[in-house]
Amino acid sequence: MNRLFLAPVALLVLACGAAEATPVAPPPPPPVATTPPVAAAPVPVKAPEPTAEEKKKADDARQLKEDRAKWEEDHKLELARWNAELHAEAKALADKSFPNLKAALTAAMAGHHRKPGAAERDKSRHPLETLEFFGLKPTMTVIDVGPGEGWYTELLAPVLAKGGKYIGTSADPNGPADARGTFYGQRFKSFLEKAPELYGKVQTMVVDGKAPKLAADGTVDMVLIMRGVHGMKGGGTYGAWLSEIHRALKPGGVLGIEEHRALEGANPDESAKKGYMPEKWVIEQTEAAGFKLEKKSELNANKNDTKDYPEGVWTLPPTLRLKEQDRAKYVAIGESDRMTLKFVKVKPATDKADKPAPAKAPAKPAAKK
């Protein structure tokens, strides 16, 4: 009986032992953390090189900013210079009558109203001799094309104040702020406003340099273009200016031109970029517009001017664009070599000025006899 009881128990024990011996699978390993791949840094795209036109535009904007800043500083000093005594002297000069041009110009040249340094340039610009050469009279109506900073205005305004009329052309001072012409217009306006007793009679004629319109037909005695032809040529407007000047001048009226003279045979399109013009070209173009060269003078010539400078004529005094670089050298050369030409209005203007000559038609065969 004991054996029968023990057998099932033994089998049960063996079964339990077998169940306990079954191995348990190990738990799965924890997931391995993975780092997402780092995206490669984008290769920077190189900005395209600015074009020649873009470079020039940037350079022009920079130069305009510098010029404006310098003028604003100079103008503050100039306004401070104009005390009550100077205003009184200027009024006396404008109110005085003179017997002739020489007396009037001599008094104007000696006036303290002239900006510091202006009188020092008389030895280079010869204002008395130049205006006498053109035949200026104190009773004339005169248009000064592009008066610039007013160097000649300081002389012409008092000379013409009593019996004549001085008209200075100007760009619109209210034009676009980034336009150089606007700056020039503002500069001339401020120049006149500082001394109303001297410049109050000056007439400012705002013109579009690309399509100039001057005075009424035949009402002007003299027009002066002082060192401005190269700019007109550069803008392709010399012909338009000549046509308008011809219309405004009286019969026999005078066009006086002082211009930086290029080397003989120079290409006017290229030399104009440097501020110089070939004398032969100026004469031919002006005569084609209905003027006659009455005479020319070498009083503003300068044989030391080699006309081959890195910044063109602006390398020389008074601009000295290279600043301190070779300054003594350029000061020693002096102001530019200039032509001085007196033209007279003699006939109706043509449309030939500053335009290429049309091709000639082939000659017709002669009729048989």
Structural domains present in the chain: 56-345 (3.40.50.150)
CA atoms of 195 and 105, how far apart (whole Å): 19
Q: HSE of 190 in the Cβ direction (CA atoms, 13 Å)?
A: 20
For residue 330, the tally of other CB atoms under 10 A from its CB is 18
Is the pLDDT at 9 greater than 60? The verdict is no
Residue 192's pLDDT band (cuts 50, 70, 90): very high
- pLDDT for the residue 245: 99
Q: HSE of 363 in the Cβ direction (CA atoms, 13 Å)?
A: 3
Between the CA of residue 120 and those of 67, 68, 313, 334, 335, what are the distances in Å? Answer: 22, 24, 19, 12, 12
Conformational region of residue 129, where left means phi above 0, alpha means psi within -120 to 50, and beta covers everything else: alpha
- pLDDT for the residue 366: 39
- pLDDT for the residue 248: 98
pLDDT tens per residue across span 60-90:
999 999 999 999 999 999 999 999 999 999 9
CA atoms of 326 and 110, how far apart (whole Å): 32
- pLDDT for the residue 44: 77
Is the pLDDT at 283 greater than 60? The verdict is yes
Runs of H (alpha helix) within the chain:
2-20, 52-81, 84-95, 101-110, 122-125, 127-134, 153-160, 180-193, 196-199, 229-234, 238-248, 268-271, 279-288, 327-333
pLDDT tens per residue across span 301-360:
999 999 999 999 999 999 999 999 999 999 999 999 999 999 999 976 555 556 544 444
CA atoms of 29 and 55, how far apart (whole Å): 67
Asked, as a colleague might, if the bond just before 173 is cis with ω within 30 of 0, I would say no
Residues in Cβ contact with 104 at an 8 Å cutoff, skipping those fewer than 6 apart: 98, 138, 158, 159
What mean pLDDT is reported for the chain? 89
CA atoms of 360 and 50, how far apart (whole Å): 44
CA atoms of 291 and 272, how far apart (whole Å): 22
Phi, psi of 171 (to 5 degrees): -75, 165
- pLDDT for the residue 221: 99
Query: HEC states along 248-278?
Result: HEEEEEEEEEEEEECCCCCCHHHHHHHCCEC
Distance separating the N- and C-terminal Cα atoms of the chain: 173
CA atoms of 263 and 308, how far apart (whole Å): 9
What is the Cα 366 distance to its own chain's centre? 55
Average pLDDT over residues 181-197: 98
Per the model's pLDDT, the better-predicted residue between 35 and 249 turns out to be 249
Q: Which two tokens stand for residue 43?
A: 């290769």
What SS3 class is residue 74?
helix
Average pLDDT over residues 154-180: 97
Residue 42's pLDDT band (cuts 50, 70, 90): confident
Is the pLDDT at 45 greater than 70? The verdict is yes
Residue 221 host element (H or E)? strand 220-226
- pLDDT for the residue 348: 67
C-alpha closest to that of 168 among 192, 191, 144:
144
Low-confidence winner among 47-51, 124-128, 167-171, 240-244 (lowest mean pLDDT): 47-51
- pLDDT for the residue 354: 61
